[in-house]
Amino acid sequence: MSKIFNVYSNDVDRTWYQSSNIKFSECIDHDNQLKTLIVVFNNGTQYRYDKVDVRDYLLFRDAESQGKALNQYIKPKGYAYEKLENADLATLDGELTFRMEGGVFVDYDGEHLKMRNNKDEVILDKETKIDREALNAVCAALTAIGKDVKLTIPDDFGLTKVDEVKSETEAAEAPAKTTLELMTYDWGDRFGVYFIDQNGVKRGSVIANDDEVDVMQRTLSAANVEWKWGKELSEEEMDELEHK
């Protein structure tokens, strides 16, 4: 079977393939109606097929060869079709890599903080009012365990890309299974939180208040990360970690 990765969310079934002809397909679900199928070829050419029977779609998607299946189950059925503008292959490839490497989607709409895993399953949905520093805590916690993050935020939130809220320190590649110890330094109204893995390597750090630390804890737990609170650092220990 040439299917590489499949994800179904928001009534859309999206599949990447390892095929000599076809790279990707997207099937839009319509309740109690026939489906809309978009097929992207390896050269970027894409076609939309309308009112496709779900059985024909599944035979196409799950076949050993999508090229043969397209000619067997879709084209001969007389479905109305239209050639679309070429697909952005770099975007499709980038999303596939992000999903296959276990990336995490972080969405904030001004009232809800939502996290989705690489299969678009919701792993955290919290009603909260947060600011830039709180988002920094969330993303720092995720990048500390080697997770890539895609961030969606309101246009007026003041951030334009996820790089602005990643942890300050880009450490070595995280171990396959990361256990974090969170060491803290008391700055008065805020805490310096340092993410230390089981090998003693600093994975990142963030300065956060109590509410932001709470969101960060929820983030780690939602991502199924093993973590524990470590010791409170002295000023000398904090300076040593800052320069690692």
Residues 218, 235: contact at Cβ < 8 Å?
no
Does the pLDDT at position 189 exceed 80? no
Could you tell me the pLDDT band of residue 30, with boundaries at 50, 70 and 90? confident
Enclosing H/E stretch for 184: strand 179-186
Q: How far apart are CA 110 and CA 112, in angstroms?
A: 6
Round the average pLDDT of the chain to a whole number and report it: 83
Is residue 83 domain-shared with residue 12, that is, in the same domain?
A: yes
- The two three-digit tokens of residue 86, written as one number: 């070429």
Which pLDDT score is estimated for 31? 78
Which pLDDT score is estimated for 73? 96
What's the total number of domains in the chain? 2
Q: Is the pTM of this model over 0.85?
A: no
- What would the pLDDT profile of 78-105 be if each residue is shown by its tens digit? 999 999 999 999 999 999 999 998 899 9
Domain that holds residue 162: 101-242
95, 118, 143: which is the final residue of a domain? Answer: 95
Instruction: Determine the longest span between alpha carbons in the chain, in angstroms.
Output: 74
Which pLDDT score is estimated for 167? 38
Is residue 83 domain-shared with residue 144, that is, in the same domain?
A: no
- What would the pLDDT profile of 12-26 be if each residue is shown by its tens digit? 999 999 999 999 999
Is residue 89 domain-shared with residue 117, that is, in the same domain?
A: no
Is residue 40 domain-shared with residue 108, that is, in the same domain?
A: no
Residue whose pair of structure tokens reads 């520093």 in the numeric block:
133
Is residue 63 domain-shared with residue 125, that is, in the same domain?
A: no
Is residue 62 domain-shared with residue 164, that is, in the same domain?
A: no
